[in-house]
Amino acid sequence: MSIDINGIAHIQLSVTDVERAKPFYRKLLVEGFEMRVQYDEPGIFYCIGARTGLLITQVADALRDVPFDQRRVGLHHLCFRARSRESIDELHTLLQDMGATIVHGPEDGPWAPGYYSILFEDPDGIRLEVNYVPGRGNLDKIRDAPLQNPRE
């Protein structure tokens, strides 16, 4: 059997205060990434563009005081793909203007040939990355390789 998927339709992040998170995500997604706002209502903010959807919703009241921990079960970080190294550099300037927490500025990485990325946090400390990898990146390496079972 072969199920032919076409990427990820959307990612939903739960934040402690959607209204506090909206300015950050509006600046990043709408002004920076030029995504369109699909929903902007109390407790929800959803942007779409570049074959991507990011939905920001309110965490359950009982969990508002539980901080994000990337080593807990669930999301570790979210990574967007940029089309150029220059986009990463432009994002760095935008994040500095926003006063965002930048974990590491633009840098080369070992993950794929030409890997270039920036890592930063949203107001809840959820880590977001944007990377640029020329061509098909690691997909070129695995194009003809047999599928691996991650449990082996």
Name the segment(s) of the chain with CATH classification 3.10.180.10: 1-60, 77-139
Strand partners, 131: 81, 117
pLDDT per position as a tens digit, 11-68 = 999 999 999 999 999 999 999 999 999 999 999 999 999 899 999 999 998 988 888 8
Bigger pLDDT: 139 vs 102: 102
- Give the contacts of 119 (CB within 8 A, at least 6 positions apart): 77, 102, 103, 104, 127, 128, 129
CATH architecture for segment(s) 1-60: Roll (3.10)
**How many Å separate Cα 25 from the centre of its chain?**
11
Q: How many CB atoms lie within 10 A of CB 32?
A: 19
Residue 27 exposure: Cα atoms within 13 Å on the Cβ side: 16
CATH architecture for segment(s) 77-139: Roll (3.10)
Q: What is the pTM of this model?
A: 0.85
